[in-house]
A and B are shown apart, each in its own frame.
Chain A
Amino acid sequence: MVHPESELWEGRLERVRISRVTAGLTVAFLVLVLGLAAGSAQAQKTIELWHIFTNENEQAVLDEAVERFRAVYPDVDVKVTVTDNDTYKTKLQVAMAAGSPPDVFHSWGGGWLEEYVDAGMVLPLTGALERDRWGETFVPASLGLAKYGEDYYAVPLTLAVVVFFYNQAIFEEHGWETPETWSELLTLVDAMRNEGIIPISIANKTKWPGAFYLIYLAHRVGGAEVFEKAYNREPGYGFDHPAFVEAGERIQELVRAGAFPVGFNGLDHDVGQASALMYSGRAAMHLMGSWFPGQAREEDPEFARRLGWFPFPRLEDGKGDPTEVVAGGDLFSVASTTDYPEEAVALARYLTAYETAVDWTRATGRLPAVVNVPVEDPMTAELMKLLEEAAHLQLYYDQFLPPELGELHKDTTQAIFGLSMTPLEAAQAMERKAQELLGR
């Protein structure tokens, strides 16, 4: 833009005054447009990076990685844009539809990224991963999040595992133990209700926090193979399998027991309504991804010191392996439309480098997707161990499934939570859509 006090602006004003108004305005407009176009053509190489790490500590670590990249590629400018989780998805979709996505972008892998891969918008990184054994620097399961066919389309920086976090002070004060089984959890919920404490915090307007329950419960009831077989359309399996129905029934069992805050389906996770209930001590437990401790440390360090965790309880009569976990990762992809593929891949490499992962883990308490990163924080180390020893990692359904089915899964689960749909109806709606999208 031209600064109003600059000479160029003066000249333009002159011209407007001299010529007829319309013509003058048109010329001024054209000059501006052409000037902007010429300006960008002369600039050095620019790479756009979009990510969703709004937390200050996280941003700082990534900014340092970008600086390290810049030291090696001084002719490349990196323009970083940070966006909120849900807004980001829409924003990227619009940029993709317009055919001008950012060169390097945050990704979760799964069915969501697959849409873009199928559209030919994502650069395969398989060749790059083979060079100097880059691929071997990652935890294998994390790379698998973005593998379609024989190719990899994203590189991971961090992993997340979903567990129950709880306020240790509340538990100690009342002499409560962390629950290991579903019935222990229900007993605990009752005890907490009697003390006037909200047992479990959740802000489910955003829908994915509630979806964690359905995934965990379906896997505790029926094991990982039910979901896999339903997804692969194997005979006798579908999204109306009894395991999904029972998972929904268990959720409603919790809702009816008063486990969740009033109006939870209208609370907004993104504006912190769930964490506020935890920080203020009104709620005792919170089923959330392992990014939560780092977030708490930044938002309420006092509370973060009281934070403990326990794995999702096992079901007494469930078939699933109780060490199974719901997990996901944060990765970076490179757009196939980039003008500077070499530099963009190099940037992705700096963002997921060992050095970055070490800083990341130390600063944010989040789990590294890069191998051999030292983990000092005890809670991070425990969560890492849980992840390493897990029988199976289940990526969040809404990111694993094709987006249309993933959205329906979140919608129907929210309706289950709201008691406005029976678990059977929800399961049948899922199966109908699955037949339409995945085949019979």
Chain B
Amino acid sequence: MVRGVPVPRGAATKRMWTAYAFLLPAMVVYGTFVAGPILLSVYYSLFDWSGVSRTGTFVGSGNFGRLLQDSVFWRAVGNNLRLVAGSLVTQLPVALGLALLLTRGLRGMRFFRTAYFVPHMMPTVAIGILWIFIYDPSMGVVNDLLARLGLHGWMRGWLGDERTALWAVIATIAWQFIPFYMILFQAALVGIPQELHEAAAIDGATGSKAFWYVTLPLLVGTIRTAVVLSLVGSLKYFDLIYIMTGGGPNHASELMATHMFKTAFNQFQMGYGSSVAVASFLIAFVVSALLLYVTQFRREA
């Protein structure tokens, strides 16, 4: 609302109702497809229910007690945190680097801009299957390349090895999302007024100095947005992992979302699966809220 502008009381009420009327369709859609299912999951999580039978048995917090002792769930939480770290460390710096390169005005820039963006335009399933073949131990490009470089000791079944499965998929996820952040940073870079760079140059700030003292501070807002998006995305990540490793081998790349999916749909435990979903929701919620609080605090300080 606009503050400080006096509005007659009746008109304000009317305007409020108009606002609500416009909000209504969105709220109905949001309520039906977002809020409703979340509340339903909370409700289901209180039952021992197969998902097919008409009725379940009320177990109260029983599912959550079981969750605390579920080693696979905790492993999944750990993997989600690795995914968060992996995404933040790889996606954002590389995306920023590419965005800087692309705003320099290189020859053939338009080609590179399109080429770099292609991964983000591919359907996830296609990306998954493509990378399954890239990682194929006997026919894949990765091992082939290592063999050509004489690094035979490095060759392995990337998706089948418990030590590398998660990291191999994290690399693919980075490949998928770097273009997105690249575009985000590019938009922000283009938005920085040229005069600032000129003024900085006059003061003797060029090259890396200009980047550290001019460009980067002006990108902080965008970087914060990117961090939040990447963090939340990593905490609820599902699709590529499901396609490429199915959470395996032996839960080595299990995420909260794949664990939830498997318990609810493969093991016929909709009730327990819902409690996994609720727990994942809470974890994602708390972490994002903390992050928002911390970054907000810094801005005001």
Q: Which residues does A use to contact B, with CB under 8 Å?
A: 22, 25-26, 89-90, 93-94, 96-97, 115-116, 118-121, 198, 204-207, 261-268, 271, 273, 276-277, 280, 282, 402-404, 407, 411, 414-415, 417-418, 420-421
Minimal beta-carbon separation of A101 from chain B (angstroms) = 9
B245 engages A404 (CB within 8 Å): no
Minimal beta-carbon separation of B275 from chain A (angstroms) = 15
Assembly CA distance A266 to B138 (angstroms): 12
Q: Which of B47-55, B87-95, B286-294 contacts A (4 or more CB under 8 A)?
A: B47-55
> Is B161 close to A, CB under 8 A?
yes
> Is B249 close to A, CB under 8 A?
yes
A205 engages B157 (CB within 8 Å): no
Of residues A115, A120, A205, A415, which shows the largest number of chain B Cβ atoms within 10 Å of its Cβ? A205
Assembly CA distance A407 to B262 (angstroms): 9
Chain B residues with CB under 8 A of A277: 138
B249 engages A418 (CB within 8 Å): yes
B51 engages A267 (CB within 8 Å): no
> Is B268 close to A, CB under 8 A?
yes
Candidates B156, B161, B162, B267; contact of A407 at CB < 8 Å: B267
- Closest A-chain residue to B161, C-beta based? A263
A267 engages B157 (CB within 8 Å): yes
Name the interface residues of B154-176: CB closer than 8 Å to any CB of A.
Answer: 155-162, 165
Minimal beta-carbon separation of A433 from chain B (angstroms) = 10
- Closest A-chain residue to B272, C-beta based? A404
Chain A residues with CB under 8 A of B159: 205, 263, 266-267
Assembly CA distance A25 to B24 (angstroms): 13
- Closest A-chain residue to B159, C-beta based? A266
Tell whether A420 pairs with B160 under 8 Å between CB atoms, given A22-B22, A26-B25, A266-B245: no
B266 engages A266 (CB within 8 Å): no
Q: Which residues does B use to contact A, with CB under 8 Å?
A: 21-22, 25, 50-54, 129, 132-133, 135-139, 155-162, 165, 245-246, 248-251, 261-262, 265-270
Chain A residues with CB under 8 A of B155: 262
B138 engages A415 (CB within 8 Å): no
Chain A residues with CB under 8 A of B136: 267, 273
Candidates B50, B132, B156; contact of A273 at CB < 8 Å: B132
B248 engages A414 (CB within 8 Å): yes
B266 engages A89 (CB within 8 Å): yes
Q: Is the interface of B mostly helix, strand, loop or mixed?
A: loop
B249 engages A415 (CB within 8 Å): yes
Candidates B135, B160, B268; contact of A403 at CB < 8 Å: B268
A420 engages B266 (CB within 8 Å): no
A198 engages B138 (CB within 8 Å): yes
A404 engages B267 (CB within 8 Å): yes
Minimal beta-carbon separation of A252 from chain B (angstroms) = 14
Assembly CA distance A407 to B247 (angstroms): 13
Tell whether A118 pairs with B53 under 8 Å between CB atoms, given A261-B137, A282-B138, A420-B250: yes
Candidates B54, B139, B161, B251; contact of A119 at CB < 8 Å: B54
Of residues A25, A207, A414, which shows the largest number of chain B Cβ atoms within 10 Å of its Cβ? A414
A404 engages B132 (CB within 8 Å): no
Minimal beta-carbon separation of B160 from chain A (angstroms) = 3
B245 engages A120 (CB within 8 Å): no
Candidates A90, A198, A262; contact of B266 at CB < 8 Å: A90
B265 engages A93 (CB within 8 Å): yes
Candidates A22, A115, A261; contact of B138 at CB < 8 Å: A261
Chain B residues with CB under 8 A of A22: 21-22, 25
Sampled A-B contacts (18; CB under 8 Å): A22-B22, A25-B25, A26-B25, A90-B265, A93-B51, A93-B266, A96-B51, A97-B270, A116-B52, A205-B249, A261-B138, A262-B155, A266-B245, A267-B157, A282-B138, A407-B266, A411-B250, A415-B249
Candidates A119, A264, A280; contact of B52 at CB < 8 Å: A119
Minimal beta-carbon separation of B277 from chain A (angstroms) = 14
Of residues B129, B135, B162, B270, which shows the largest number of chain A Cβ atoms within 10 Å of its Cβ? B162
Assembly CA distance A56 to B134 (angstroms): 27
